[in-house]
């Protein structure tokens, strides 16, 4: 289900209601411009973007930058039965694996 949106980013799957908002905004503070977040990382074959992240949170997640004692990672969960149908975008604490944020896709 391709999001209907005035966005010309070819790999954008971010629905309009999430397009102007950092997906990690509940986790620490945001800084920098919003960008399309490839999950997994583009360098690891990520082809679609399901959320937007601010530059600060993208750096924390993609590069493991530690901020206020917290290191983050993200993941798109796909249920085994539903081949390519993604279920949730989650952000976890790298140290404890705790899910800090889960967004239904």
Shortest distance (Å) from residue 22 CB to Zn ion = 3
Q: Write the CA distances from 59 to 29, 67, 68, 72, integer angstroms.
A: 13, 10, 14, 9
Closer CB to Zn ion, 8 or 84, in the complex: 8
Q: Kindly indicate which of the ranges 26-34, 62-70, 75-83, 84-92 contains the residues binding Zn ion, using the contact rule CB under 5 A.
A: 26-34
Beta bridge partners of 99: 92
Residues in 34-63 that interact with Zn ion by CB under 5 A:
54, 57
Can residue 100 be called a binding residue for Zn ion (CB under 5 A)?
no
Look-up: residue for tokens 């705790």? 98
Shortest distance (Å) from residue 21 CB to Zn ion = 9
Can residue 103 be called a binding residue for Zn ion (CB under 5 A)?
no
CB contact set of 2 (below 8 Å; sequence gap of 6+): 13
Q: How far apart are CA 74 and CA 50, in angstroms?
A: 11
Instruction: Report the interface residues with Zn ion, using CB under 5 A.
Output: 7, 9, 12, 14, 22, 24, 30, 54, 57
């Amino acid at each position: 289900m391709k999001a209907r949106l005035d966005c010309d980013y070819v790999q954008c799957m971010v629905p309009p209601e999430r397009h102007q908002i950092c997906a990690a905004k509940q986790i620490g503070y945001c800084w920098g411009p919003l960008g399309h977040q490839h999950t997994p990382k583009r360098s690891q074959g990520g082809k679609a973007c399901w959320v937007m992240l601010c530059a600060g949170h993208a750096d924390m997640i993609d590069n493991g930058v530690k901020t206020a004692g917290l290191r983050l990672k993200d993941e798109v969960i796909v249920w085994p039965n539903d081949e390519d149908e993604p279920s949730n975008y989650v952000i976890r604490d790298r140290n404890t694996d705790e899910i800090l944020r889960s967004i239904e896709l």
